[in-house]
Amino acid sequence: MIVPDMLRLNAAKYPMEVALVEVNPERQEDRHITWREYDLVETTEDEPYRRDMTWSVFDERSNRVANLLLSRGVHKGDKVAILLYNCIEWLPIYFGILKTGATAVPLNFRYSSDEIAYCMDKADVDVLFFGPEFIGRVEEIVPQIQTGRLLFYVGDDCPTWAESFRELESLCSSHDPQIPLFADDDAAIYFSSGTTGFPKAILHNHESLTQAAEMEAIHHNTTHDDVFLCIPPLYHTGAKFHWMGSLATGSKAVLLRGVNPKFIFETVSREHCTIVWLLVPWVQDILAAIERGDLRLDEYELDQWRLMHVGAQPVPKSLIQRWKQVFPHHDYDTNYGLSESTGPGCVHLGIENVDHVGAIGVPGYRWECKIVGEDGHEVRQGEVGELCVKGPGLMTCYYNDPEATAETLIDGWLHTGDMAQQDDEGFYWLVDRKKDVIITGGENLYPVQIEDFLSGYFAIQDVAVIGLPDERLGEIAAAIIELKPGRSATEEDINQYCAKLPRYKRPRKIIFADVPRNATGKIEKPLLRERYGATGLVGKEANG
């Protein structure tokens, strides 16, 4: 069974049950809008903007999208891009693309005009669906991208140089086109985060998507009664493939457009969410709000919330220990993965292994792992090397980039670029990104280990450790520290705390500043290296 078949099955088994809910707390002014084929849930001044969709309507909407594309000559092998914020239209468009046999190409909504054009060219995109937030960026590149391409606008007041998706969709048949699809057919192209330069186009087939759906449901014991809260952007493999657990079980999912701790808790309470995937910054914000008294747990209905899991970046052990003190009844899971491995899950902690918090875990469902040295051979247990993974969710290739593919996919193994080690119980521990390793005086420093240590300091909200040039040592470790609101610390305070570390691991520079993270929660270390590499400015004291 491939994932379009899962949608068809849910529409047959649970036609009138809610599949998707969109909640947007910041769009109260849009309550007057009417949406074709949806019932707009009545709201008041005190309630967020909300739309929902049943499994039957979800399936029918995807059929209309597919038939629209087929009527315009889109066929198997074509590429169709999606440039939308999280919204209730996103997934029906995605599945409509899949039902034609075309390849879906989600685009990062933070891309500039030039990056949008680059990615469309890189992936040979034939059609672009875009929302109102992107009119300006798309209009800038219309002369570059319009020739031979279709531009469908998802919103009201369609610009003259595009076509109105809503008007066209309503004219299309809701009957399933039933295009034959196979597990090894191309399904989707996802772009790498781009924090290390221009993003790569990562091609996955239908088997990858099916593996993600089955794995997510198994890893987190997802049932038909669960309600998944999805906050990260759907263009990213993390959000998309965690949601696939809901697809596999026919359970409800809620798309929340907002990361404010109050929004999150209001939505968990109102929608009775049972599974929530968070990024590290959001966990930090929630705990800080609780500690300040801005978020009172007794004001929300939270008893049904059973699982909190985190992925997309290294997770400080101290952060989860703090979370478990506040929510001792929560199951917890860490999810490790890459877009090249269909997102998170190729390695995961497992909810039964909470006593191993700090490790990224064990091989996920149907995955294999190994750690290799510079010579490509496996290292001894306990030694640091590059983590490699192998399984049915592996990318087909970097699209149109055989050289990069050959460097990354070797004998069926994906070389992740992450340095890790395996303990004597079989758990894998992430040490750092291979390219982020700091070599100081001939010693290897792994920033993640130092970041994890510093995260335990009471005044620190977020921290990033980078290498800066040094004439004598080659590189030195610099810690960029973001303090909690209302907290203060000095360089001397941090140095005293770091006295517990071996001398060579202690940061040589302390910089008090914000820690930039991208939309998927990853620290933007290239930006920090560019920002501080030349000056190495040191903050002597800071007040939050």
Q: Model confidence at 30, in pLDDT bands (50, 70, 90)?
A: very low
Please tell me the number of Cα atoms within 13 Å of 538 on its side-chain side.
Answer: 13
CB atoms within 10 A of CB 6: 20
Indicate whether 242 and 362 sit together in one domain: no
Q: Which residues pair with 53 in a beta bridge?
A: 20
Nearest partner of 251 among 463, 502, 14, 511, judged by Cα: 14
Q: CATH number of the domain at 515, please.
A: 3.30.300.30
Residue 417 one-letter amino acid: G
Question: What confidence tens digit (pLDDT) does each residue in 68-86 have?
Answer: 999 999 999 999 999 999 9
Residue 468 · residue 440 · CB < 8 Å: no
Q: What phi and psi values does residue 386 have, to the nearest 5 degrees? A: -85, 130
CB of 189 closer than 8 Å to CB of 202:
yes
Judge if 9 and 150 occupy the same domain.
yes
What average pLDDT does the segment 288-301 reach? 92
Do 55 and 185 fall within a single domain? yes
pLDDT for position 26: 67
DSSP labels for 326-349? H-TT-EEEEEEEEGGGTEEEEEE-
Judgement on whether residues 419 and 441 belong to the same structural domain of the protein: no
Residues 503 and 421 in one domain: no
357 with 321, same domain: the answer is: yes
Tens digit of pLDDT for each residue in 363-417?
999 999 999 998 889 999 999 899 999 999 999 999 999 999 999 999 999 999 8
**332 Cβ neighbours under 8 A, 6+ residues apart:** 307, 308, 309, 310, 320, 323, 324, 349, 351, 354, 357
What residues make up the domain containing 194? 3-258
- The residue with tokens 């038939």 is 67
Residue 141 predicted with pLDDT over 80 = yes
Query: Is residue 517 a contact partner of residue 312, using CB atoms and an 8 Å limit?
Result: no
Tally of structural domains, the chain: 3
Domain membership flag for residue 281: no
- Report the percent of the chain where pLDDT is more than 70: 89
Are 147 and 161 contacting, i.e. CB atoms less than 8 angstroms apart?
no
Q: How far apart are CA 426 and CA 246, in angstroms?
A: 30
Asked whether residue 398 falls in the same domain as residue 444, the answer is no
CA 521, 527, 528, 529 torsion: positive or negative?
positive
Rounded Cα–Cα distance for residues 438 and 431 (Å) = 12
CATH label of the domain that carries residue 40: 3.40.50.12780
The single-letter DSSP state of residue 533 is T
* Any domain includes 107: yes
Question: What is the Cα–Cα distance from 377 to 265, expressed in whole angstroms?
Answer: 47
44: left (phi over 0), alpha (psi -120 to 50) or beta: beta
